Every structure is written in C-alpha cells, then in structure tokens.
Amino acid sequence: MAKDRLYYHDSKLCEFEADVISCEGPFEKEDGAGFWKVKLSPNAFYPESGGQPSDRGKVDDVDVIDVIEDEQGEVVVILGQEVAGKVSCLIDSARRFDLMQQHTGQHILSAAMERLFWYETIGFHLSEEYCTVDLDVDRLDESQADQAEDLANSIVFLDVPVRAEFVDDAKLASYELRKVPKVDSDIRIVSVEGFDNCPCGGTHVSRTGEIGLVKITRIDRAKGKVRIEVLCGGRALADYRRKNKQLASAATSLSIHPMELESQVGRILSQLKESKKSLQEASTRLMEYDSARIWDEAERVSGVKVIVYDAGQGGMDFAKQFALKLVSNPSTAAAIGASGPDTAYLVVARSQDLGLDASAVFKAAITSLEGKGGGNKAMAQGGGAKLGGLAAALEEAKMALLEQIG
C-alpha cells in the first residue's frame, strides 16, 4: 500500500503519470450531478484522513472533486467524468503546500506544548481556513501560549530537516515518540530533527524553514479542554496583512498612529461610558417629567386613572420603567407600548391598591402584536413582531381595563 502512495515518499510531487485500475460510475450526487470513483496506480493524491483535507487537482484535465479511502483502505479519486488507460495527473501544488505548512507547524507546536508544560495534544483538525489543536488541559494562559509559540518558531527559524519513514518494530523501539501509533503495521514516523517524533500519515514540508511562521490566533476553553487556533506560513502572512490593514484603517479614521490605537480606544470607551451615564440620567429625568405630566392630565374612570400611552422607540426596558413610575401613584392603571428595531412591546400594570388583573388585560391585547409574554395580576409584559399592531394592542388593553373597572 505504501509503495503505491507516492505522497508518502515525496510530499512535493505534484505531477505524475498513472494507470487507471478501475473507474466505477456514474453515481449521482444530491444535486443530480454524476461522478465516478477512480483508482490509480501509482497514486499521489492524498485522501482526507488524520485530520488533514484531501488534495485537489486534475486527472487528464478532469477536475478532482474529492479523494477518499474506501472500506478496503484503498485511495479513491472522485471525478466528474469517466477516465481510462494511462492518465496524466496534476495536484494543486499551492493547496498541497499550504496544508503541509499547517500540518508540520501543528506537529512542532504540539511538541512545544508538551516539552514546556506536559500538555498533550488530544485532537487536531485542519481545514482550508483554519487549524485547531485540542490540548488535554483546562486552562492555557497567554504567557504560556507565547512561550510555546516562541519555542515553535525557534525550531522553524533553525530550518532543521523534517523526515518521514516507515519503520519496523526494531526501528520503532529506537524512537522517543510523542504519542503511541494507532496502527500495528505500516507505521510511519515523521521526525523534526532533534525536536519531535510522531506517528503520522500526512504530508509535510522537508525543512522547518518552509513553514515560515507559527502563530496562535485564538484560545478557547470548553468541556474541560483547551482548543487553540493556529495559522502557519502563508495563512499567517495573510492574517497579518488583513489585521494590519484593519488597524491602519482604524488609525486613519481617528487621525492617529496605529500604535496609539489601544490608548485612544480606551479613552473613547471611557468617554462613551460617561456619555451613556449622562444620557441615562437625562432619560430618567425626562421620563419622570413625562410620567408626572401624563398622570396629571389623565382622566379618572370610576376613581381610577387609566393611562394608555405609546412611548415610541424606547424599547421594553423604557416601557416597563415608564409603567412602574405611573403606577407608583395610587388608583392608577397603565398600558404602555414601545417599539424596537423589529419588535413591538406592551406593558400592562396597576397600582397596588387596585384589584385589577393586569395579566388578563395583557393576554387580551398581545394577540394584536402576534406576540407572547407573561406576568401576574400586578404587571405583565411581552412583545411581538407585528410592529403595525401596536395601536390596536393599546386599544384592546384600554377596552379590557375599562371593562374590569366597570
């Protein structure tokens, strides 16, 4: 099996001739398109396995859709057309090299984590956009991430050889392995000279300098483990360019140097906090003034001040505080409406000296908003997506209140 898989022996081989051993199909995909399952000998296309995506490319100018391993462990190339005989094969070299950079970079970073902190890698996933490494630890602080990153990049900058070989039991015993092989035969060891030995069937660079850079971009904690996102080589450069452009753009908009952004953002956030505080205080004073005015102007029905009011764009919190302010006065019942970007809100409340059922009034009115909510006899609140139904909801609430008052 290893002899026919050319990528095991030369990860940079991206052009080769092969014989079509079999071509089965057509099969039908979910979108109705047909595809063929092709087996080649020899084969250099890497199938998805071990956390690494499969290769892409062409077989006699036919695009490779996917590369998989079948139940017998044989490599199957998925094509959109039938092929036969001797074929010329071309692997997407840029994609292959990118995946090699990420995969070897992950090996080095995992080894750095283990050497520095004894943090074992228990999971690895490599996609076309990102690479994640799961560590068997519940916490990784920023200083530890920096130390591991520095050690990993020191190995990259040393430009040491990376070798891969199949070993027998005797040779295997001579290696100090970072993890135990998952198979009993055809064991392939990828070695970063003087730093790491790890069983692996993936494609790798031939020297660490080809990786360019190893950069941890994110640290997450979940379910008792740490997951880090890592970018290597070309991906790390693209990420730097994107973020540098964002920083430069933000700095230009503020007419400052990019190195001043952190302190300037801190000042802006502080000013924003003070502005919000001032706005809240002003809003509270305005609400107190408006609620007092509206309560004074409201007419009594059988001795009860009945207030039905649309508070505009205040949102749920404002409507609730407005209603509570009104019913802090005795013998008062209120139905307050308000609007958000995509929701209309309704609050129904009554003062403690009344026996009215605010929840019943709310239930009668909320249907006009096609919404839901809840509460009790003293206050009920909720909202719905029918913004145009607020006026009708307030009218329903008014009628229900008047009916209870009698």
- pLDDT(382) > 70: yes
Q: What is the pLDDT of residue 53?
A: 95
Mean local confidence (pLDDT), 312-318: 84
pLDDT for the residue 2:
63
The pLDDT tens digits of the residues spanning 72-93 come to 989 999 999 999 999 999 999 9
**Domain edges within the chain:** 6-91, 96-242, 280-405
Decide: residue 385, CB within 10 A, 0-12 exposed, 13-18 middle, 19+ buried.
Answer: exposed
* Average predicted confidence (pLDDT) for the chain: 92
Q: What are phi and psi of 314, to 5 degrees?
A: -75, -25
pLDDT in tens, 145-185: 999 999 999 999 999 999 999 998 888 888 889 988 888 88
pLDDT tier, 46 (very low <50, low <70, confident <90, very high otherwise)? very high
pTM: 0.73
Give tens-digit pLDDT for 98-148.
999 999 999 999 999 999 999 999 999 999 998 999 999 999 999 999 999
pLDDT over 90 for what percent of the chain?
A: 71
Tokens 């190893």 belong to residue: 214
Q: Inform me whether the pLDDT recorded for 3 exceeds 70.
A: no
- The CA-atom distances, in angstroms, between 67 and each of 40, 45, 51, 82, 85 are 11, 7, 14, 15, 19
3-state class of 342 per DSSP?
coil
pLDDT, one tens digit per residue, over 328-380 is 999 999 999 998 888 999 999 999 999 999 999 999 999 999 989 999 999 99
Q: How far is CA 296 from the centre of its chain?
A: 53
pLDDT at 36 over 90: yes
Which tokens in the block code for residue 226? Answer: 């740490």
Is 47 a residue whose pLDDT tops 60? yes
Residue 261 is predicted with a pLDDT of 87
Distance from C-alpha of 198 to C-alpha of 179, rounded to nearest angstrom:
6
Q: Taking the domain 96-242, which CATH number applies? A: 3.30.980.10
DSSP string, 48-114: SBTTBPPP-EEETTEEEEEEEE-TTS-EEEEESS---SEEEEEE-HHHHHHHHHHHHHHHHHHHHHH
Alpha carbons 339 and 315: distance in angstroms, whole number? 5
pLDDT surpassing 80 at residue 213: yes
Specify the pLDDT at position 347: 95
What is the average pLDDT across 308-322?
87
pLDDT computed for residue 363 by the predictor: 93
Which among 93, 77, 90, 92 has a CA at the least distance from the CA of 20? Answer: 77
**By the 8 A CB rule, do 305 and 295 touch?**
yes
Q: Which fold has domain 6-91?
A: Elongation Factor Tu (Ef-tu); domain 3 (2.40.30)
Burial of 366 (0-12, 13-18, 19+ CB in 10 A): buried
Q: Mean pLDDT throughout 269-279?
A: 90
pLDDT at 299 over 60: yes
**pLDDT of 18 strictly over 60:** yes
What CATH architecture does domain 280-405 belong to? Answer: Roll (3.10)
Tell me: the pLDDT tens digits for 218-257? 999 988 899 999 999 999 999 999 999 999 999 899 899 9
Q: Is pLDDT at 1 greater than 60 in this prediction?
A: no
pLDDT tens by residue, 179-210: 888 888 889 999 999 999 999 999 999 999 99
